[in-house]
Structures are given as C-alpha cells and as structure tokens.
Structure 1
Amino acid sequence: MSNLHSNELIAEIINLEAILNLPKGTEHFISDLHGEFAAFNHILRNGSGSIRDKVSTLFSQELSQDKIDELCFLIYYPEAKIQSLKKAQSLPQNWWFETIEQLLIIVRFASSKYTRSKVRKALPQTYAYILEELIYQYDETTDKKAYYRQIIQKIIELGEAERFIADLSYLTQRFVIDHLHVIGDIYDRGPHPDKIMDSLLDYHSLDIQWGNHDIIWLGAVSGSKACLANVLRICARYGNLDLLEEAYGIDLQLLKSFSRKIYQENKDFFPKKNPYRELTTLESTDAMKIQQAMAMIQEKLEGQLIQRRPEFQMDHRLLLDKIHENQLMIDGQAYQLVNTCFQTVDWKQPCQLSAEEELVISDLLEQFQNSPKLKQHMTFLMEKGALYLSYNHNLLIHGCIPLNDDGSFQEISFNKNKYAGKALLDFFETNIQQAFSKPWLTEDFSTDLVWYLWCGERSSLFGKKAMKTFERYFIEECQTHVEEKNAYYSLRNDPQVCQNILKAFGLNEPDSHIINGHTPVKQIKGESPIKADGKMIVIDGGFSKAYQKVTGIGGYTLLYNSFGMQLAAHKPFSDQETAIEKNDDIISTRQIVDRKIERLKVKDTTIGHTLIKETQQLNNQLKHSGQSAF
C-alpha cells in the first residue's frame, strides 16, 4: 500500500470505511462430524436452515409449503433435484423461467450484505457477466425488464437452463454462509471423513479446531507409530478399513496376512455394525483379526513411549507387565482377563514388538506418509487448523482447558518448564507443527507429545484421567472402564469459571462465549447445550450415528449472524436420495442464544478490527502526503 498515489489512497479509505459498515457475515459452527458425510453435506448445503429462512421470507405469501420445500431442495441439490422432477413429470418452459427468476431473487437477497467486488469474485467464470447483470437488477422499467427477460429466455432456448440453475443454487449456498468453523473430530467412526475433507478443500472460507480423533491421524502422518496403531484399530473396530484401502490407497495385505496367521475368532473384536453397508463375512473376519493385531501393537508401542517419556507421568498405564496367570492387578485388586489375544507377547519383555509386528507397522507408516491424498488432507488440516481460535469475541476449542477442582488452570511440566492454560495449548500446538514438519523423526519429543494429546491426562483434547481401551477389551467389570473427566466438564457450568478462561485468552467482552465440541450433549436426558448463563455453548449433539441413541438427536450446529446467535438441533439424517425425493430437510428446532439489540457490522468483527488498523495506516499515509481524506 505504500506505493499508492493520493487518489488511490482516498479511494481505498472510502472503500474500507464502507465495508466496515456492512452487516456482519453469517458464521456457521459445526462439530464432531466423525465421518458422517451425508449429514454433514446436507447441513453444509442448507446452511443449518439459513436457506429455508430466506426462501420462506421471500416467498411465503406466494408459494405453498410444498413449493417452498421443492425450491429449497433445488438449491441444496440442483442437479439431482432437477432429475428427480423430470422423472415425475415433464417440466414446461414456464417452470424453467419462473425457477430462474425465483433463484435470482434469492441470490440478490443473499448477496445484499456483500460488496459488489466480493460478489463478482464468487461468480462462476462461464456466466460471470450475465449473472452480474441479472443479480444487480435494480432498474425495473419496462425497457430494462424486457432486457432481463430476454437474457433468461435465451438461456432456456440454448439448453443452458439446468447449468444456470445449478450456478444460481451454489451461489446461494455460498452467499448464505460467509465463514465456516469446524470445531474438531472430522475423523473416525463414520465411513467418509475423506469426502468431508474433499468438501472442505473447496470451501470458500473456513477454519478448523483439531479434535482428539483428528490428532491421531495427524500424528500417524507425522511419524507416530502409536497414533498409527490407534488409527488402524479404530478403523477395524468400526468396519471402515475400506476407507484406508479405497480412499487413501493403503495396501493392507501384509497386515491381513499377519493377522490371519496369528489371531483366531474373538467375539469382543468383531467390528461394530456399519450403518451404511453390510460387511461381507471375509471383511468382518479380517476386521476382527486386524483389530486384535493392532490392539496388541498399540499396547506395546504405547508402553515403549511411556517408558521413554517419564515426564508424561503415565506409568499407571503400563499394564502388560502387571499381568500374571491371566490376571491384571489394578490398584491392588486382581481382575480376571477375558477375550485375550496375547499370542505375540513376550512376558519377559512385554512391550517389545515381534519381528513380524515391527515389519507390519513400519510398512503401514511408510504407506501413510506416502499416500498422496492422505498427505493432501493432513496438510490442509494443518494449514487451516489450530488447537483453539479467538474469533469475533468467541473462544473456539474442541476439548477443554485442563482445570483443577478449584477452577484454576492445571499445570504440567515438560522439559523442566511449566505450562498451564493458554500457554499449555500454545506449547502443544507448537509441537504439533514441529512433529508434522519432520515426519522422518518417529520417536522425538514432539511426535510423542502428539500421542500424549490423544490420551494424556492433561491434554486439552482428551480431558480425562486415563483412556481405558485395554480394560474395555479385556475386563468384564464395568467399574474399570470408567474414564474420569477433568474438572473442566463440571466447572464449565459456572459463569465465573468460563469468564476466567475467556479472560486468559484475551476475550474480555461481555458478549464473549466458549464454543465447545467433544462431549455429546444428552438432550434425551434433558441436558442443555447452553451452559453457564450462555457463556458456554456445546455443539456436539451426535452427528455420528454411534452417539444418536445417547443424545436423542442428529447433531447441533450454531449460526452467528448480524442479529445474534441461534443454536440449531437437527434430527438424524436419512439419506440423500430419500431426502431429495421427499424434500425431507434435516433441520428441526432453533433456539436463540444471544439476540443483539443493535445489528452487528463488519467493524465489530475480528476482520473488521484488522480493516480498521489498515484504514488508520492509510489515513496516516495520506496525511504525510499532504492531503486529508475528508
């Protein structure tokens, strides 16, 4: 900007000052997707009901509810909806004309809060000029109206109506949501996190806060064999090994051969029911044996890691060396082990991998680090991701801020330095970045710390005293399975505790909130996602089908526009084909979290504060050039 002439400076100042007074764009918050692409894709397309709101506002007086539903689904899934309508009936020319006119009205309305420059940049190149003419249809005189109608008529005559409708629909989706926040856990449990990542790659504006399930995938690609073992075990447990083979091109033959040779049928290791497809007998058998293999490899690798990192204070999780005559000693009590699969354990050196296990895990690590698509997804996750984000007066974090029972920040020492609160999360994030930047280092401190974030007691992503995977597999007594939560999860109901956390992150505004994921809100039992007098909002409501029996709903999302915040509770999603055919939308109920008395503008946002600084710099530059903006 230092090279701008005075006239250019004045024009830029006028432009920035004008932008600052536009309405704040809509933020869309979504969390704990867990590979549930179909539900995520629908929520992304309908903007958590934002599109339906706009269609209803514009057409409730002239269209029936059925026609409003049809128009909404046309915007969500334009190509598929047109084909569905064509199957049911022949679409007359006036349908195409009326539909394009309706969509143009919606696009004009949805784009009205943006600058013309921002709208222009969003237009598809094919019809950019035509779309710009039609979107900015302010002159309704007879001559001009005929001009606009002729453009639409010609589009239909040239057979371009379907493509044009699709472009208008996707523009509506683009303009309805200005920015997307993904508050963690894209990966694990559901079958298609890769498709979610592909969608995010193409999204116009977003950020991601890493979740604990994302971190083990990042850890695996960063060189952590312990994280890698967890990834493989979880994929096998949820019947998603095809994600590795088909989406990411990982050859599992060596692992399958090893597992088939070493392990037998074991009822506790059969994969959970895949909600999207039935596994074949061979797929189920392989998943059952692979899960056993990876559970053992994981236990050994984690044992090695705990031994080389005494600063992690996790000696209580060294379990293989506490097994004697098929019993495990925990806190002085002996528990009989069931469903055991200890064929490869050398009881003299229980944490040592066998030669075959070493070969298997090394082969898998090399493939993970050399999968082009997986590398693309993990690189994007690093570029757009962070452990937390302070944005527009809100603190976005997937898991927790580790707290003591009195609400003070839990402290932990690493390399003779003490960390707590924001400093702890900054330390974790620095090491995640370092581990990812040096994937050839597989047992360095940073790589091991990524694993600690998965299951360490004072991890901001885990938030529990211990992960009881071993106990759940091998001990029947349920009291040993309980994972004690950090004090944060009870104290987050206290407005003062939330205020103290916000203050520690530099958020002192009275309208600041903590927006959280990670722990499913049990709406079915009366739990509220809005806590601490509105200072805390938890938006993990069960996108994952595995959680929906516990939550009673199909997920929460949050919308934050210029009028305030609204929480949306969603019913479980059926499937895309059924939804399109029946116009079966996923949105169910809305709840106002925070209603603004005065409409928020760009100048009230994080981006606005940056623009204000730029304006001040330009004014100073103009002043030194001997002119004034006004």
Structure 2
Amino acid sequence: MQTKYYQLLKEKFPTKESVLTEIINLKAILELPKGTEHFMSDLHGEFTTFNHVMRNGSGSIKAKLQECFADAPDKDLDELAVLIYYPTDKLNLEKRRRDKESLEKWYVQQLEDMLTMTRFSSKKYSRSKVRRALPPQYQYILEELLYDGNQDFDKNEYYQSILDNLLMLNQMSSLLRELAITIQNLVVDHLHIVGDIYDRGPEPDKIIERLMWAPSVDIQWGNHDILWMAALAGSKVSIAGLIRISARYGYLSILEDHYGINLRPFVEYAEHYYTPIAAFAPKLKENHLEISEKEKDRMNVVQQAAMILQSKLEGQLYERRPEFEMDDRILLKHIDPDNWSVQLNGESYSLKNFHAPTIDFSAPLCLTQEEHQLLNQLRQSFQTNEKFKRHIHFLLNKGSLYLIYNNNLLLHGGISMNEDGTFSTFHTGGRTYQGRQFLDFCEQQVYKSFKRKDTDDFATDFLWYLWCGPKSPLFGKNAMKTFERYYLEDKRTHVEVKDPYYLMRDQEEICLKVLHEMGIYSDNSHIISGHIPVKEKDGENPVKANRRLIVIDGGYSKAYQATTGIAGYTLLFNSYGLQLVAHQPFESIENAVMNKTDILSTKRLVESVDERLRVKDTTIGEQLQIEVDDLEFLFEYFEQF
C-alpha cells in the first residue's frame, strides 16, 4: 500500500523538479503567520445579528482598516467598512444619491481603497491562496491591479484603460461587490460554529444557507441541532418536540413558510381536541407584533397537542431503551386520572392545565390510530423535503460532536462527570463507555441513525437521548422538566440539576483532566464551548479555570438576552493570541448602511503569545508537514517508484 501511495504521488509530481518545487512551496507556507479563526456559538436562528458579525469579522475588519490606513487620519473608515460589510446595499444607496460623474469618481476612489485593504489583508497568505480567494470572473483584472497597482509609471495608461473599461461596461459596481466579499474572506481564515443554530429565533435556515457560502467552516452539533437532525432521521418524538418548541417561541413559520412542511393536518388535529389556555401562551418578543390573536391561539393548541404526543412517545422510547436509565421520566404512567395528580419521587402533585383527551389511562402511552397516521405523515414530510434534507446533510458533512483544532477542544456542552471528578459511565450492548470513548460513541450513533429512516432503531432513539439524556454531552442536566413546567405549580419540581461537570468546570484541574482525556497536553490549550448562557450582567466571567475554559454563549437569541445582559460573545484566535468579543444588540442593516453604524462590540484579551504563531504551529501545519515528509521521501527515492 505504501508503494502504491508513492506511485500515485509520483503521478501528481512526475519529475524530481516538480517534487522539489512543491517541497519549497509547502515549507514556505509553514512559515507564514497563522490565519484568524472566528468562533461563534448558540446562534438560535438570529440571522440578522449573525450575518452582521460574519460580515464584520467580530470587529476584525474595522481593526484591519484602522491599521491599514493609520497614515490617513482623514479617511472615512466607517464608510469604507459599510461598503465591505454590505456592498449591495451601500452601492444601491450611492447610485440613488449621486449623479453619474460623482458616482464614477466615488467608484474609483473606493476601488483604490479596497485594493489597498485587500493587499494589506492578504500579506500573510501565499500568492496562490489569494488567487483562489479572488472572484473567478475578475481574477485577471484584480491580480493586475493588486500586485502592480498604478505605481508603475510605464503602465499608467494600461491601468487607466482597465478602469475606464470597467466604468464603460458598468462592471465597477459588480467588481466592488466581489472585492468586498474577498476582503471578508481574507480577514477571517476559518469559521467555527460551536453548536445550536436551530430553535428560539426566526431564521435558522438563512444561517445555514449563509454558512454554505463560507470558504472554510466546521460545526460542532448542539442539542437543538440534534433535535432537528433527528427529525430527518425519522424520530417521531423529536418531530413532536421541535413542533412544540417552534409553537412555544412563535416560529411555526420556520416549518411552514421557510421549509414548506405541511402542518395543516396537525393544526386541525390540535384545534379539534384542545382549546387555548394561558399556560401554553407562546413566548413572543417585540418582533412578533404582527401575530394575530387567532395565530396565538393556534400556537397555543399546537403546543398542547405536541406536548401530549411527545409524552406518549417519550414513554415508549424509555420503555424500549432501559439502558437510558430514564424510567422515572415515563410520567404518563404515574398519573392518577381520578384526582388529576402525578407521582414524582414518592410524592403526589396536583396537575394543573393538564388536558389529555386522546389518552386512554389503561394504556397511557398508546397512540390513537389518528395519531399514528398523523405522525407518519409528518415524518414523511420532513424526510422528503429537499431544502430540509440539504440543510441537515450540510450539518452532517461539516459537523461533528467535538473537534480538536489547534490544541483547542471545541465542544458545545461538556463531558458528564461524577461528583468526585471521574467521568460518568454509560452502559449498552454489554459495553461501558466514558470520557472520550463515550463522545466517539455518541458521534457514531448520529451517523448510524441516518442509515435507517423508517424504524425506531437504537441510533435514532439515541438522538433523543442526546437531546435530553442525563449523561448527554450536549444536555448536561439530570432531566428536562418540560412536563413539570407546563403542568405542576410547585416550582421545586421544575429544577433541573446540572451535571457535576458544570459545577466543577471553573477548576483548572478539571479542565486539564478533560483536555488530557482528549489527548491535548499543550500549555496553551483550551476548552471552547457554549450551551449555557453566561450571565455577564451578574458579573459572571466567560473565561474560567485560569483561562482553560472559554464559554462563548452570550445570548445571540433574544430569548436569553434578559439573562445575559449582552447580545452574544464571539472569539478570535489569530497569530498573536485569543480575544473575546462581547456584542451589544444589532439594530438593522438599514441603519448600518444609512448612518454608517456598526454593532457595538468590546474586545478583551484572553491570551497573548510570546512568539507570533505560524502555520507550522497549527493543525493545518501538522498536515502540511506530513505532506512535506512524504515528498522528501519521494524525492530521495524517486527512481524506485
């Protein structure tokens, strides 16, 4: 096999000279400065804010502009920043407000400034990488303008001809738009999404569509992502759960309008059996002003119906999966229908707002024939929806449960632990899993679940465990108390006890234990996670355990901002170190373009390095070094292959 590998490598580099050239090229790349990584988490459907932070690189573009034009204090950097962030909107605005002569002059000035910014932003990349970043239709023109510019006196007329023809052919606007996108992609080299694209907010589908255009991105699945992924895998309980949550937060339109899922049969079923009650009023925010009372009532009864279906299906799942150790969550079996009470942990609690017209209490977990048919129709709707399939397959292709990248562990939640700091164990199939082995097992089940879409197999059931199981690395609590919050007045029953990991993760020794379990021993390694919003307004620090843990869930979702006091964290990791960025709420694209406003963000230095990081110090660098070693071996023994 090794001989065959080198023979194939020789086909790619057929001469010793070509091998030597590639070795020199790769070794030179290893000495370049490390590219900027951009970390985002817990986006929860808030596309507008996410999109702006993507476009401004968490403030990186503005910082680059200030550095690039440090010798031009009169330069309007705010205007140039807006053009880079929102080129289409800005260009349309200038077309409306300027005459032809003024517009053309403005075009030329912006092109000159953007070319300067592109040169500055591309300094730490190889010429070939910059070439790949350029828009194909303008690659030749931009290379000419970028690498020689108009500084060569002998070529002044040549460059002027390029500009004149761009204007004459009405291509300047298009060129500026493409150049703005190029700058965005050059300033941020790689994007990490540390979980939870879905739920709570209005436009998760737009976030995924935007991520599909990102040149370099990876995703670590969050518990809310898993719920939606499970719907495509065929999990009926997950379908009931995501419908309930969508109704709870006023976003059934995501399913109906954005994805085109037919909920009409479900709505008719819900309206037939249930009537609106206050406990199921949807949690609406200021952007829901257009929702009518009739629509609120619809979301109300859909929640009720989905909750009862979810409770039935949960109970069935826990009965067939005793290894999940969730028998205590088969709550419908603990209800006394004579006095409307439920037994929890040996105590009896009165039920409130509990309406279950489709439950037969002699067999409370059984679905009616109507419910069987309804759920089968819904499952087919999810599994045959092309847009939904495309989005979930993107999460599968770009995603993983965790990622080790540049000596950092990226994991949405955490690793379940016992109170003594040892890793919890999970038993199934005669085997015991814990620590990294359990994380790998969890990821394997995600991929297995998509191989069979029409049965309640273990892997598909396990996706629900990842959503709410007590040892799930994506959940992190002893139980999800949705039933209690809806139906029990005693708030003591609502408490969800955090996994000991979350109580101990402020300790450096615990974080080091996790990092070492994952095979990470660098002095500059970190755990980067989201999942639990950081309450900055209460003084909580997102940087914990002597900088070993960085929690970047700061409240992108409006549902969490009252708790966090900010509108999200992001993290930047460039060749000089780590910076945490705290964001305030973003107003609107219109305001940004018209008034040249930016999102208000505050950067905090988390960690700096003594010596600037190079590509050779990164995960990509390790891969490149392997290529160099292989090429050097081929060069030495070239004639033998």
TM range (shorter): over 0.9
Corresponding position of 2:3: none
Corresponding position of 1:276: 287
- The equivalent position to 2:496 in structure 1, one of 467, 483, 486, is 483
- The equivalent position to 2:526 in structure 1, one of 513, 525, 530, is 513
Q: Residue type matched to 1:162 in 2? A: S
Which is worse superposed, 182-191 or 328-337? 328-337
Corresponding position of 2:305: 293
Corresponding position of 1:618: 631
Q: Residue type matched to 2:46 in 1? A: E
Aligned mates of 1:494, 1:148 — CA distance in 2: 60
Shift of 1:302: 0.2
| SS of residue matched to 1:534 | coil
Query: What is the CA deviation profile of residues 467-516 of structure 1, one whole-angstrom value per residue up to 9, with x for unaligned ones?
Result: 00000001122111111001111211111111111111111110000001
Query: What is the CA deviation profile of residues 81-138 of structure 1, one whole-angstrom value per residue up to 9, with x for unaligned ones?
Result: 1223344454443221111100000111112211111121222222111011112126
- The equivalent position to 2:227 in structure 1, one of 216, 223, 229, is 216
| SS of residue matched to 1:53 | helix
Aligned mates of 2:103, 2:325 — CA distance in 1: 72
Would you say 1:543 and 2:559 are equivalent positions? Answer: no
Aligned mates of 1:23, 1:507 — CA distance in 2: 22
Corresponding position of 1:349: 363
Aligned mates of 1:234, 1:458 — CA distance in 2: 22
Would you say 1:332 and 2:346 are equivalent positions? Answer: yes
Aligned mates of 2:170, 2:556 — CA distance in 1: 40
Aligned mates of 1:22, 1:145 — CA distance in 2: 32
Which is worse superposed, 15-24 or 143-152? 143-152
Q: Is the 8 A contact 1:48 1:587 kept in 2?
A: no
- The equivalent position to 2:326 in structure 1, one of 289, 314, 331, is 314
* Structural mapping, 1:199-598, within 5 Å: 199-277=210-288, 278-324=290-336, 325-441=339-455, 443-598=456-611
Aligned mates of 2:500, 2:227 — CA distance in 1: 24
**Cα 1:199–1:612 shift into 2, 3 Å:** same
Shift of 1:151: 2.0
Aligned mates of 1:437, 1:121 — CA distance in 2: 36
Q: Residue type matched to 1:29 in 2? A: F
Aligned mates of 1:604, 1:145 — CA distance in 2: 42
Aligned mates of 1:408, 1:586 — CA distance in 2: 42
Aligned mates of 1:176, 1:440 — CA distance in 2: 45
Would you say 1:133 and 2:144 are equivalent positions? Answer: yes
Corresponding position of 1:85: 94
Aligned mates of 1:362, 1:264 — CA distance in 2: 24
Would you say 1:197 and 2:205 are equivalent positions? Answer: no
Would you say 1:38 and 2:54 are equivalent positions? Answer: no
Query: What is the CA deviation profile of residues 439-470 of structure 1, one whole-angstrom value per residue up to 9, with x for unaligned ones?
Result: 223x1111111110101000000000000000
Corresponding position of 1:20: 30
Aligned mates of 1:419, 1:305 — CA distance in 2: 21
Aligned mates of 1:64, 1:515 — CA distance in 2: 40
**CA root-mean-square deviation:** 1.5
Shift of 1:232: 0.7
Aligned mates of 1:621, 1:86 — CA distance in 2: 58
Shift of 1:62: 2.4
| SS of residue matched to 2:524 | coil
Shift of 1:59: 2.3
Corresponding position of 1:55: 65
Aligned mates of 2:621, 2:600 — CA distance in 1: 31
Q: Residue type matched to 2:424 in 1? A: Q
Aligned mates of 1:154, 1:556 — CA distance in 2: 45
Q: Residue type matched to 1:77 in 2? A: Y
Query: What is the CA deviation profile of residues 287-312 of structure 1, one whole-angstrom value per residue up to 9, with x for unaligned ones?
Result: 11111110000000000000111111
Would you say 1:177 and 2:154 are equivalent positions? Answer: no
- The equivalent position to 1:108 in structure 2, one of 95, 119, 124, is 119
Aligned mates of 1:498, 1:203 — CA distance in 2: 31
- The equivalent position to 1:2 in structure 2, one of 2, 10, 13, is 10
Aligned mates of 1:236, 1:548 — CA distance in 2: 20
| SS of residue matched to 1:559 | strand
Q: Residue type matched to 2:393 in 1? A: T
| SS of residue matched to 2:558 | coil
Normalised to the residue count of structure 1, the TM-score between the two structures is 0.97
Normalised to the residue count of structure 2, the TM-score between the two structures is 0.95
Shift of 1:201: 1.2
Corresponding position of 2:5: none
Query: What is the CA deviation profile of residues 200-236 of structure 1, one whole-angstrom value per residue up to 9, with x for unaligned ones?
Result: 1111111000000000111111111111111111111
Aligned mates of 1:583, 1:9 — CA distance in 2: 50
Q: Is the 8 A contact 2:150 2:159 kept in 1?
A: no
Aligned mates of 1:150, 1:141 — CA distance in 2: 14
Which is worse superposed, 580-589 or 122-131? 580-589
- The equivalent position to 1:164 in structure 2, one of 144, 158, 175, is 175
Q: Residue type matched to 1:85 in 2? A: E
Aligned mates of 2:351, 2:156 — CA distance in 1: 80
Shift of 1:327: 1.3
Q: Is the 8 A contact 2:95 2:103 kept in 1?
A: no
Q: Residue type matched to 2:518 in 1? A: F
Which is worse superposed, 111-120 or 359-368? 111-120
Aligned mates of 1:343, 1:425 — CA distance in 2: 41
Q: Is the 8 A contact 1:217 1:231 kept in 2?
A: yes
Structure 2 gap ranges (5+): 1-8
Aligned mates of 1:583, 1:20 — CA distance in 2: 39
Aligned mates of 2:119, 2:460 — CA distance in 1: 50
Aligned mates of 1:138, 1:593 — CA distance in 2: 38
Corresponding position of 2:134: 123
| SS of residue matched to 1:295 | helix
Which is worse superposed, 473-482 or 550-559? 473-482
- The equivalent position to 2:79 in structure 1, one of 70, 84, 89, is 70
**Cα 1:145–1:108 shift into 2, 3 Å:** farther
Aligned mates of 1:411, 1:576 — CA distance in 2: 49
| SS of residue matched to 2:174 | helix
